[in-house]
Amino acid sequence: MKSVVMKTLLEVNKGESVVVRELSGGRQFTGQLRTMGVKEGSRVKLVTREPFGGPLVIKTGNTTLTLGRGKASKILVE
């Protein structure tokens, strides 16, 4: 049986595509992400990680988003 390794979006490598499994945060936070297309089961790709603690740029479908590291740490993926 294959074991599933969950990690946060912060731990994803540049260029890697992953599937969102869980959004851990309040209703406003999770609602905002879902509105932007980041929801459980959606595939996201890490486009780039800005230097010096800057935000992450991700792509989901035809949408490109910039997320701060705090938000990215609350998105569990595999």
Q: How confident is the model at residue 2 (pLDDT cuts 50, 70, 90)?
A: low
Residue 3 has pLDDT above 70, yes or no: no
Mean of per-residue pLDDT scores for the chain: 92
Whole-number Å distance between alpha carbons of 74 and 72? 5
Whole-number Å distance between alpha carbons of 62 and 67? 16
Name the fold adopted by 7-77.
SH3 type barrels. (2.30.30)
Each residue's pLDDT tens digit, 25-56: 899 999 999 999 999 999 999 999 988 889 99
pTM of the model: 0.88
